[in-house]
């Protein structure tokens, strides 16, 4: 019974210690609220720019080449999908970098 209590205490100490280490690491890196807002801004722009460029190209193609379908709508959707793909890849890259830093810090 005492061994179980000791194991539970050790795991509790480990959890508390890990949380404290993450807090100290966050303080050392000094990431602020502005950094988080900047991340959201980068994601937004990575979606907005290809979408707007696709729409602009579509408007030009609609004026230049008359077709039964809308170039504007088609390229707007294509730009949106491209922007989402770019944002997703960027987030995955940042996520891998964060996890790599955490693993390096724990070693």
End-to-end CA distance of the chain: 32
- Per-residue pLDDT of the chain (107 residues), as tens digits, is 444 444 555 688 888 888 888 777 777 766 667 777 777 888 899 999 999 999 999 999 999 998 899 999 999 999 999 999 999 999 898 888 877 876 766 55
Q: Helix axis angle, 71-106 relative to 33-64, nearest 10°?
A: 160
pLDDT score of 13: 86
The pair of three-digit structure tokens given for residue 75, joined into one six-digit string: 């390229």
**Longest C-alpha distance within the chain, in Å?**
82
Report the predicted TM-score, pTM, of the whole model to 2 decimal places.
0.64
Decide: 48 and 34 in contact? Cβ < 8 Å.
Answer: no
Residue 1: DSSP 8-state: -
Domain boundaries in the chain? 1-30, 32-106
Would you give the distance in Å from CA 42 to the centre of its chain?
9
């Amino acid at each position: 019974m005492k061994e179980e209590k000791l194991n539970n205490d050790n795991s509790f100490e480990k959890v508390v210690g890990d949380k404290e280490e993450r807090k100290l690491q966050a303080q050392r890196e000094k990431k602020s609220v502005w950094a988080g807002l900047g991340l959201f801004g980068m994601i937004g722009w990575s979606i907005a720019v290809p979408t707007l460029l696709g729409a602009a190209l579509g408007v030009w193609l609609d004026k230049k080449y008359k077709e039964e379908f809308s170039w504007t709508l088609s390229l707007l959707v294509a730009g949106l999908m491209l922007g989402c793909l770019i944002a997703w890849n960027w987030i995955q890259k940042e996520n891998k970098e964060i996890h790599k830093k955490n693993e390096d810090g724990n070693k």
